[in-house]
Structure 1
């Protein structure tokens, strides 16, 4: 009897016209599903390439005709609206992005790893399922809602608790961004911990190790590559965030001296200024050049994290 890959129109020895029609229909359905799955598989690659080509096309004019590399990367003066002498220095913008992302990781990493360890190694039954659902719900909160939390709730609290004039600062944005990055880091970390073979745990317990000793001395070292991959994915998530950072940082071009200073991030600069520029102008192209920089950084971070996670899965 012919298999499901039989070409339509092939002779059917037994079964009659009904069997022939059924096989003919199944063959077309099988090929259609294969084509659909293939298109879905390559769509992400096509979209990423398309976005990069568009961003590069819009920013390449500034890179080759207007950009002074030293001024662009090493000066903190961002005054693109000056008609006489516009300045395009992104050092302060990079410092603002790095400070917010760094503080966010200080908030997110302990919180995420602690949650992942408890869910994977200590929680059981309904407790585990409930916590996993809550983590997923936390990831589903839109970034603009996080921005409102930073603007309406965190801002007055920081002013009151720390006696500072403005609560829209690195501390505010770092806390908000840390909470935003925590769910994805928790999910990846939990997967890495669950990927550790049970025989490791059983061998340690057979030697008299406690539950915490098994986790600290056996499971965590075995899952370190996966945990590092989760942290890097969190860094990429924080580095590319826009709306919450725009609303919580104060949006001031400034190299911060403390966590209470207002800053401006690279992503927030693009979001705030792109709608006010002349399409194709120098300022417009400079913003797309920042977009190219962000794309390359986030792509590198996410690719590194993906390679690390793939490596631990193969191991």
Structure 2
């Protein structure tokens, strides 16, 4: 059994290495041909023009703004919901709320996009008197909703894993229940909560279908109420008909996206290790 578990671990690592090598081999040629500065910091994407341009700065900034906006909205709501389910809610109420959270996790992303396109986009257009409601703002709202299940489930599990002795000692010293939750339980579960945030960031930065339906999918520099295109939607929207340098540039976008996710994971793990030390 030990050998079997070891083999499964090696297979998982091999998959990551294979994906990494494939993206590097497929993506680097276009970056060298276009030029790393023109590719990463160019502000115009016109892959099918007579004189094509492959600047992905609008996609990078849009993905960063969209992910940060979704995290700013989704993390507080998700964390507070997990605190309620783990520490405050009665068993009857928790049995009602928890299945609803699980149902959110099971809804396909295309359904989120469809509801956003049919309900949220027209509402934003009317509320802000815009010519088109498909925008970065709608993408942020949809992403914030989509990352809630991951954050709630993982954070709740981490909070429940905190030894009861910690909380009992805090209460015995005169702390209130709320003080105990936020000054004892939450810090003790910080690694699990951070893992929930990482999962949320991964879901937000990697989503494509739902965002394509509510963000407008136009290669503009990011603005809250303008149509935009994310890194993921740039790949998804053009890969079916791309060829030559355009196809290689799309692989380069995927490589940039992969590097972003790796940087985020490493940064959060480093912060957690420093905090534990």
User: What TM-score, normalized by structure 2, do the two folds share?
Assistant: 0.90
Contact 2:27 2:252 (8 Å CA) reproduced = yes
- Asked whether 1:108 is paired with 2:71, we answer no
Contact 1:233 1:305 (8 Å CA) reproduced = no
Give distance in 2, aligned partners of 1:82 and 1:34.
Answer: 57
Aligned to 2:182: 216
Q: Classify 1:233/1:159 alpha carbon distance in 2 versus 1 (closer, same or farther; 3 Å).
A: same
RMSD over aligned Cα atoms:
2.3
Displacement after TM superposition at 1:236 (Å): 1.9
Give distance in 2, aligned partners of 1:202 and 1:301.
Answer: 35
- Asked whether 1:69 is paired with 2:36, we answer yes
Aligned to 1:243: 209
Gaps of 5+ in 2: none
Aligned to 2:108: 142
Q: Bigger radius of gyration, 1 or 2?
A: 1
The runs of at least 4 consecutive aligned structure 1 residues that moved more than 4 Å come to 33-39, 303-312
Q: Classify 1:172/1:111 alpha carbon distance in 2 versus 1 (closer, same or farther; 3 Å).
A: same
SS in 2 for 1:275: coil
Aligned pairs (5 A) from 1:64-103: 64=32, 66-83=33-50, 85-103=51-69
Displacement after TM superposition at 1:142 (Å): 1.0
The Cα offsets for residues 183-240 of structure 1, whole Å up to 9 and x where unpaired, read as 1111222222223221121012112322212112322233334323322321122111
Give distance in 1, aligned partners of 2:169 and 2:76.
Answer: 28
Aligned pairs (5 A) from 1:105-184: 105-184=71-150
User: What TM-score, normalized by structure 1, do the two folds share?
Assistant: 0.80
Give distance in 2, aligned partners of 1:169 and 1:103.
Answer: 13
Q: Classify 1:175/1:219 alpha carbon distance in 2 versus 1 (closer, same or farther; 3 Å).
A: same
Aligned to 2:239: 274
Q: Classify 1:262/1:77 alpha carbon distance in 2 versus 1 (closer, same or farther; 3 Å).
A: same
Q: Classify 1:108/1:119 alpha carbon distance in 2 versus 1 (closer, same or farther; 3 Å).
A: same
Pick from 53, 78, 90 the counterpart of residue 21 of structure 2: 53
Pick from 258, 264, 267 the counterpart of residue 229 of structure 2: 264
- Asked whether 1:193 is paired with 2:159, we answer yes
Aligned to 2:253: 290
Contact 2:31 2:39 (8 Å CA) reproduced = no
Give distance in 2, aligned partners of 1:203 and 1:72.
Answer: 56
Displacement after TM superposition at 1:182 (Å): 1.2
Give distance in 2, aligned partners of 1:304 and 1:38.
Answer: 27
Displacement after TM superposition at 1:309 (Å): 7.2
Gaps of 5+ in 1: 1-32
Give distance in 2, aligned partners of 1:193 and 1:274.
Answer: 42
